[in-house]
Amino acid sequence: SPERPGPPSCWASRYPQAVNCSWGLSPDPLLDTDFVVTYRSVRVPKCTATGPRSCSFGDLQVFSLTPYELNVTARNALGAASGTLPFLLENIIKPDPPESLRVSPIPGEPQKLLLEWSPPSSWPFPEYFPLQYRVRYSQDNDSVGPYEVTSHILTDLEPGSLHHVQVAAKDATDSGEFSAWSPATPAMGNKWA
Ligand SMILES: *[C@@H]1O[C@H](CO)[C@@H](O)[C@H](O)[C@H]1NC(C)=O
Ligand SMILES: *[C@@H]1O[C@H](CO)[C@@H](O)[C@H](O)[C@H]1NC(C)=O
Ligand SMILES: *[C@@H]1O[C@H](CO)[C@@H](O)[C@H](O)[C@H]1NC(C)=O
């Protein structure tokens, strides 16, 4: 039989609208292999292919205590093999990184900089499902937060010091995990302090 696919991974960067799942096969089979994906839940819709080894489904049941169970079956001339992933929807929430991180000076406050960012545009309802954020700006990977606002003031900056600022987002109720860090944005302490 072919290699067992998996383990599949599923994440909800567009909670509560949709879940994306993907899986791999290792080693990559030489034979043509197709995949049949099913999942069990309270409702039973299908996972629509978004690529050869990925799919997405919507019509989600939020706060359900019945786990979803994704079942990926690889089939080729040698046979079939399955991999499964049970999960609770709220446990797989993982927003995309925040966007449009901007750094601006604060008039009369040479040791401070204002950071502002936007929630990930893929997060459908920031008003109803707020996000919390962490900010990272020192070389030593320390981060500050969480904050439930989309701005933060860096203080005590050495004049001329260069920082690389990043922001990450997580569902405000603390479900699931933090997004990846946003791309590093340079922030320079005011040289003319
Ligand atoms: C997630 O699913 C949507 C369709 O619902 C698709 O457009 C998007 O490309 C998928 N994202 C990834 C990273 O596969
Ligand atoms: C997964 O789906 C395959 C094909 O439909 C089936 O044979 C297998 O029993 C399923 N596995 C689980 C754990 O449901
Ligand atoms: C900071 O994180 C990066 C990657 O996450 C790592 O390579 C680096 O060693 C870390 N630096 C410190 C000082 O911990």
Give the model's pLDDT for residue 45: 63
pLDDT for residue 94: 98
Give domain status of residue 193, yes or no.
Answer: no
Reading the chain (193 residues) residue by residue, the pLDDT tens digits are 666 676 789 999 999 999 999 988 766 666 677 777 766 665 556 789 999 889 999 989 899 888 898 888 888 888 888 888 899 999 999 999 999 999 999 998 888 999 999 999 999 999 999 999 999 987 666 889 999 999 999 988 888 888 899 999 999 999 999 999 999 999 887 765 4
Q: Mutation test of ligand 3: which of 139, 141, 164, 178 has the most ligand atoms closer than 8 Å to its C-beta? A: 141
User: Which among 38, 63, 92 is the end of a domain?
Assistant: 92
Residue 145 lies in a domain: yes
CA–centroid distance, 104 to ligand 1, in Å, is 34
User: Which of the ligands is closest to the CA of residue 55?
Assistant: 1
- Tell me: do 19 and 83 sit in the same domain: yes
- 15 Cβ neighbours under 8 A, 6+ residues apart: 60, 89, 90, 93, 95, 123, 124, 129, 171, 176
Show which of 92, 126, 148 is a domain's final residue.
92
Q: Between vectors from CA 120 to CA 61 and to CA 138, what angle results, nearest 5°? A: 125
Ligand 2, pocket residues at CB < 6 Å: 36, 38, 71, 73, 82, 84
Residue 73 placed within a domain:
yes
Q: 105 and 76: one domain?
A: no
Q: Exposed, middle or buried, 86 (CB in 10 Å: 0-12/13-18/19+)? A: exposed
CB-based burial label for 55 (10 Å; 0-12, 13-18, 19+): buried
Same-domain check for residues 52 and 79: yes
Task: Give the number of domains in the chain.
Answer: 2
For the domain that residue 133 is a member of, what is the CATH number?
2.60.40.10
Q: Look up the domain containing 70 and give its range.
A: 4-92
- Which residue CA neighbors atom 9 of ligand 1 most closely? 50
Among candidate residues 92, 120, 137, the one where a domain is terminated: 92
For position 191, what pLDDT does the model report? 63
Tokens of 175: 């479900």
pLDDT at 52: 86
Q: Show the ligand 1 pocket: residues with CB < 6 angstroms.
A: 18, 20, 50, 54, 56
Please tell me whether residues 81 and 138 are part of one structural domain: no
